Amino acid sequence: MSSAQVGRRTLLTGSLLGGAGALALAGGIASSGTRSTDPAQARTPAGGPGDLVVPFHGEHQVGIATPPPPHAVFVGLDLDDGVGATGLGRLMRVWTDDISRLTAGVPPVTDQEPEVAVRPAGLTVTVGWGPSLFDRTGLVDRRPPWLTPLPSLPADDLDEAYGGTDLLLQLCSHSPVPLAHARRLLVGAARGIATPRWVQPGFRDPAEVAGLAFRNEFGQVDGTVQPDVADRDAGLLWIGPDAPTHPGWVGGSSLVLRRIRMDMEGWERADRVAREHAVGRDLATGAPLTGGRESTPVDLHALTPGGLPVVDRHAHVRRAGAQAPHERFLRRPYSYEQVGGDGNVETGLLFAAFQADPVRQFLPVQRRLAAGDLLNLWTVPVGSAVYAVLPGCAEGGWLGRSLLA
């Protein structure tokens, strides 16, 4: 992407896109404006949601603190045999160039469908490195100390088909079309260096863009209690200069991706009271069972007239709630449906959590849930992977340079 093209971007105003525009601005999204490719000029009306651009360059990668758009796909790739640090560096340079173009609505030179690329619809691509990558490339001294698979937990029934890989791409967009296009192009660009092991698509309700809450497939309001990562809790999300890891990680983060199957038939057999007690919140409004609105803090000490806790001892919010200030992370989940050839559909949640240190922040919470969470009656983790998320890069730089150069 040339600096001229960046310069020609115009920020969308809230009035142009209504709620979507307002949210887009909150997440640092701009319009791609005029473009240089002929097909774009001939066919793309400017100013629609398809033209949304999330600026790629910066201290941090986007697709983390960015408000989650309705469509996502996670791609886990493994390095091909014999590929070392040099090959990895080549891939990072190629991906950075392609991602910076695709997210700006500028087709990469190798793009066979440039007409699709010109409408990125807020496309973001986020790149992570898995624990195994460091052994395979001789970069063990750059691996963060917390970058290891989660220990096996009692509630898990993990399928290696959705296990950790050397590399991760997380792509998100307001439209599934540029998303699929970017996935194909980036996987194609990796040919000869890395090969996908799994592809996990996810979705959220587009209505959230207008400020409504995310409802997962159980119909629950999900994502209410979150750290304030844009401000006072930024240190919970981003790796800082004092972190006990290679300085090349400063500005990066980590991603824990748990694929959690949801037993829809079992859930549909449970009555509303049981469902609400499993979480500790009202299904319709997301408000705590102890009263108030969605944003009201849960009162974990409240008792019924009979002296029993209003929020069950094993309710999800009691078990998941932070028991120390550092036990917090940014949840950015997507629902999934996997249609089998036999007509069966597996439903679940691609639970994505971002934090500076997953062992310190995420693991204690996950351990409490695995040991006794009422939601476990209807949920089973079937996939688990942990990644170090690379810092962002400035124009002219490339992702991973601070660790490879």
Residue number with CB closer to ligand HEM (279 or 289) = 279
Task: Give the CB-side neighbour count of residue 49, counting CA atoms within 13 A.
Answer: 19
Nearest-approach distance from CB 153 to ligand HEM, in angstroms: 10
Backbone angles phi, psi at 20, to 5 degrees: -60, -40
Q: Which residues contact 364 (CB under 8 A, 6 or more apart)?
A: 323, 324, 327
Which CB atom, from 65 or from 369, has the smaller least distance to ligand HEM? 369
Contact between 363 and 353 under an 8 Å Cβ cutoff? The reply is no
Please identify every residue annotated as catalytic: 222
Residues that bind ligand HEM (CB under 6 A): 216, 218, 220-225, 258, 260, 262, 279, 281, 298, 316-317, 320-321, 349, 351, 365-366, 369, 375, 379
* Least distance (Å) between residue 310 CB and ligand HEM: 14
Query: What's 247-316 look like in SS3?
Result: HHHCCCEEEEEEEEEECHHHHHHCCHHHHHHHHCECCCCCCECCCCCCCCCCCCCCECCCCCECCCCCCH
Nearer to ligand HEM, 12 or 150 (CB): 150
Least distance between ligand HEM and beta carbon 166 (Å): 24
Strands 124-129 and 71-79: unpaired
Q: Which is nearer to ligand HEM, 91 or 369 (CB)?
A: 369
Is the dihedral angle over the CA atoms 395, 400, 402, 405 positive or is it negative?
negative
Q: Closest distance between ligand HEM and the C-beta of residue 342, in Å?
A: 24
CB of 130 to ligand HEM, least distance (A): 19
Compute φ and ψ for 78, nearest 5 degrees.
Answer: -115, 145
Contact indicator for 104, 178 with CB cutoff of 8 Å: no
Confirm if 56 and 99 have CB atoms less than 8 A apart: yes
Q: 30 or 375, CB closer to ligand HEM?
A: 375
Question: Rounded to an integer, what distance in angstroms lies between the CA atom of residue 249 and that of residue 204?
Answer: 30
Residue count (the chain): 405
Which residue, 260 or 399, has its beta carbon nearer to ligand HEM? 260
CB of 318 to ligand HEM, least distance (A): 8
